[in-house]
Amino acid sequence: MTQSKPKTEQIKKEAIALRTEILRMLNKAGSGHPGGSLSMVEILLGLFDYALKYDPKNPEWEGRDRLILSKGHGCPALYAILALRGYFPLKELATLRKLGSRLQGHPQRGLPGVEIVSGSLGQGVSVAHGMALGERLNGKDTRIWCICGDGEMQEGQVWETAMSAAHYKLDHFHVIVDANGVQQNGPVKNVMNIEPLAQKWEAFGWKAFEIDGHDIELILGTYEKMMQVKGQPTVLIARTVKGKGVSFMAGNHKWHGVAPNDDELEKALAEVGKGI
Amino acid sequence: MGDAATAKTSVAKSKKPTRDGFGEGLRELGNLRPEVVAVSGDLGDSTRAKWFGDEHPERFFEVGIAEQNLVSTAAGLALTGKIPFANSFSAFITGRAWEQIRISVCYMDANVKIVGSHGGLSVGPDGATAEALEDIAAMRILPRMTVIVPCDAEQARAATLALGDHVGPAYLRCGRAPVPVLTNPETEFEIGKARLAREGEDLTLVACGVTVYFALLAAEVLSREGIEARVLDMHTIKPLDTKALAAAAEETGALLSVEEHTIHGGLGGAIAEWLAQNANVPFKIMGVPDKFGQSGEFEELVEVYGLGPDSIAKEARKICARKG
């Protein structure tokens, strides 16, 4: 748990380590979702280095905040940061998607640090909303952080939740949209346009922020602002690049759900190591 | 209901909808346990969850006409230590939000109680869109799910209280139409244990919900002809009381199931699955044919779909004739 703002340089190094683990585990698994995992690296680091209250030694600590990954297919990124922070051994990342592994293809409960089952898009944001209602009723100052995808905004359930969270004035409920602009079958704007996203959330009664989702200074500053808002839930539209850090994956929907082979891994790791 | 109607007073005195039993049970449970919360989708008045909400407004969450969010929100509440009762009409909560029940509730093993009111034909004049005739099947096929269909308001109350102690996903089906009260507060209720509603050695009528009453009326008609029917109130469809079924198969040699649900995948389907692998006795499933419902008074619909006591008695005679 960290509450003072970390150094930008330190987070940039962590981003390289995180992307490296994501690519390695996907290569080892032979399947999975690199694009949407790589795009949310800085979003996660901002949480784990600054905004989130957590304790890897005591994953069920009552005072913890809740991190909900609604875009469940991005779980390699979540698994990697949990392992890097000591929730479970780093070597367990090699079991991703293997029979009997705690690292299922989409998150399930039972792996320390994983709060919910996700992978059926739209449901995680509602579960997070229920947690926000429950913890407020419990009298706790717990914050609920929920990471969604921008393609996921096409699910009607998301907007049912948006309505309700504003109705209940859940100012300890924060949604982060990893807006990488690309979904499985192409650019989000071509498949089914969901823009203007920030205005939509504002219209539903939320306080919306919109930033470059790879700029760590901006991310930290925005999380700070989100935690200061009173009387309404907050959403961050984090504009990111799908497959960030690897030139041949960046912005390419073909890399939504395909793992790199050994040659591709080598090229990808060389690029990621430069921290571009 | 012909001959059977004359037998009515011997098995029941008053009438009350099972949804009222749920409402009373939830209010009572809410006073006993602070963890109990309710999540409603604009139908809390109809489901009777509002009776709890009136006493505990801070624990009553109205999410509007949004069943998907309703169910997943209940799962989130369960993860913070609450015991949520997610309620709506049976048709909507088990249909519109089926996948939310599958993933957010069952796969996650969240301690959520799904309560569907207006189950079966009891919605009457509102017609097919709100008549849940597939809900038992839809809930029964989900891993970890417990499925309960109470026979009367008192049993619905008992089931609601029992669900307060039960850990894990469950579905409770209630109805709108007033139905005869067959049990009383002293009647034993245990999830997964069928109630022996009538002794008999010649065949067993296995029923759930209001059809337990119809089965009892049919048994009285049959008794006058010298056929003694056992009546099992199989209020829990899952887990099925296979002990009671095994005894019924062995001791009575024939089974007839009756339910206010399509003939596919409900109580009859559950019994058929068990019978095919465990016993070899004549068996028939009575229920609504493979059709959608329609508008009509509850009693009219029961007759149209052949679920009344006379129809049951008729099938019972045929089953007895098939016994070896």
Model confidence pLDDT, tens digit, residues B189-212: 999 999 999 999 999 999 999 999
Residue B211: closest CA among B279, B312, B296: B312
Is there a contact between B103 and A160 if contact means CB atoms under 8 Å apart?
A: no
Hey, is the C-beta of B60 within 8 angstroms of any chain A C-beta? no
**Partner-chain residue, chosen from A120, A122, A129, that has the shortest CB–CB distance to B76:** A129
**Residue B67: active-site member:** yes
pLDDT of residue A276: 66
Q: For CA atoms A222, B72, A156, A42, give the dihedral sign.
A: positive
Q: Is the pLDDT assigned to residue B1 strictly greater than 70? A: no
Q: Is B64 an interface residue toward A (CB < 8 Å)?
A: yes
**Residues B73, B82: Cα–Cα separation, whole Å:** 11
- Min Cα–Cα distance to chain B from A271, Å: 38
pLDDT tens readout for residues B123-148: 889 999 999 999 999 999 999 999 99
pLDDT digits (tens, 9 = 90+) for A82-109: 999 999 999 999 999 999 999 999 999 9
First to last CA, chain A: 28
Chain A residues with CB inside 8 Å of B79's CB?
115-116, 127, 130-131, 134
Give me the pLDDT at residue A37, please. Answer: 97
Closest Cβ–Cβ partner in B66, B72, B82 for A127? B72
B209-223: buried (b, 16+ CB within 10 Å) or exposed (e) per residue?
A: bbbbbbbbbbbbbbe
- Percentage of the residues of chain A whose pLDDT score is greater than 70: 99
SS3 A276: coil
Q: Is the pLDDT of residue B150 over 70?
A: yes
Closest CA relative to residue A132, chosen from B69, B2, B322, B244:
B69
User: Which residues of A are less than 8 Å from B76 in CB distance?
Assistant: 116, 126-134
- B324 CB within 8 Å of a chain A CB: no
* Whether B262 contacts B132, CB under 8 Å: no
Find how far residue A193's CA is from the centre of its chain. 21
Q: Which of A160, A169, A170, A172 to mutate to test the interface with B (most CBs of B within 10 A)?
A: A160
Confidence of residue A4 (pLDDT cuts 50, 70, 90): confident
Helix, strand, coil shares of chain B as percentages rounded to 5?
Answer: 45, 20, 30
Find the catalytic residue in B28, B35, B58, B67: B67
Mutate to test the interface with A, among B80, B85, B105 (most CBs of A within 10 A): B80
Residue A168: strand, helix, or coil: coil
- Cα–Cα distance measured from residue B75 to residue A8, given in angstroms and rounded to the nearest whole number: 37
pLDDT value, residue B182: 97
Across the interface, whether the CB atoms of A130 and B103 are under 8 A apart is answered no
Using a CB–CB cutoff of 8 Å, tell me whether A65 touches chain B.
no
Are A126 and B61 a contacting pair at CB < 8 A?
Answer: no
> Which residues in chain B have their CB less than 8 angstroms from residue A152's CB?
none
pTM (predicted TM-score):
0.96
Answer whether A163 sits within 8 Å of B99, measured CB to CB: no
Cβ-contact A26, A37 below 8 angstroms: yes
- Whether residue B37 and residue A137 make contact (CB cut-off 8 A), yes or no, is yes
Give me the pLDDT at residue A5, please. 80
- Chain-wide mean pLDDT for chain B? 95
- Indicate if the pLDDT at residue B89 is higher than 60: yes
Mean pLDDT of A15-38: 97
pLDDT at position B13 over 90: no
Q: E strands within chain B?
A: 15-16, 36-40, 60-62, 83-89, 113-117, 146-148, 170-173, 179-180, 195-198, 203-207, 229-233, 236-238, 255-262, 283-288
Residue B319: C-alpha distances to residues A63, B208, B218, B248, B260 (Å): 62, 19, 14, 14, 20
Q: Cβ contact (<8 Å) for B61 and A133?
A: yes
pLDDT at B9: 44
Residue B229 has pLDDT above 90, yes or no: yes
Three-state SS at B56? coil
Q: Which amino acid is at B234?
A: M
Q: Does B294 touch chain A (CB under 8 A)?
A: no
**Could you tell me if A135 lies within 8 Å of chain B, comparing CB atoms?**
yes
What is the C-alpha to C-alpha distance for residues B114 and B101, in angstroms, rounded to an integer? Answer: 8
Backbone phi and psi for residue B170, each to the nearest 5 degrees, phi listed first: -150, 150
Q: Do the Cβ atoms of A160 and B76 come within 8 Å? A: no
Half-sphere exposure of B57 (CA within 13 A, CB side): 1
For residue B8, the model assigns a pLDDT of 45
Place B10 in a pLDDT band, splitting at 50, 70 and 90: low
Q: Do A131 and B68 touch (CB under 8 A)?
A: no
Cα–Cα distance measured from residue A34 to residue A16, given in angstroms and rounded to the nearest whole number: 14
Structure tokens at A95: 């079991």
Containing B252, the helix (H) or strand (E) segment is: helix B242-252
What one-character DSSP code corresponds to residue B275?
H
Extract the tokens encoding A72.
């469940």
A202-256 tens-digit pLDDT: 999 999 999 999 999 999 999 999 999 999 999 999 999 999 999 999 999 999 9
User: Under an 8 A CB cutoff, do B73 and A117 touch?
Assistant: no
Closest chain B residue to A136 measured between Cα atoms?
B80
Residues A134-160: what's their mean pLDDT? 98
Residue B126 at interface with chain A, using a CB cutoff of 8 Å: no
Which chain B residues in 165-204 lie under 8 Å from chain A, judged by CB atoms? none
Distance of CA B299 to the CA centre of its chain: 17
Q: Is A130 on the interface with B (CB under 8 A)?
A: yes
Please compute the mean of the pLDDT values over residues A61-73 and round it to a whole number: 97
Q: What is the mean pLDDT of residues A183-204?
A: 97
Residue A274 — very low, low, confident or very high, per pLDDT cuts 50/70/90? confident
Give the DSSP H/E element, type plus range, for residue B18: helix B18-32
Quick one: A139 exposed, middle or buried, by C-beta within 10 A (0-12, 13-18, 19+)? exposed
The size of the A-B interface in CB pairs under 8 A is 104
Question: Which whole number is the average pLDDT over B84-112?
Answer: 98
**B283 contact A CB<8A:** no
pLDDT score for B2 = 44
Does the structure show a pLDDT above 50 at B160? yes
Strands B170-173 and B146-148: parallel
Closest-CA distance, A76 to chain B, in angstroms, reads: 19
CA A41: distance to chain centroid? 8
Q: Please tell me if residue B82 touches chain A, with a CB cutoff of 8 Å.
A: yes
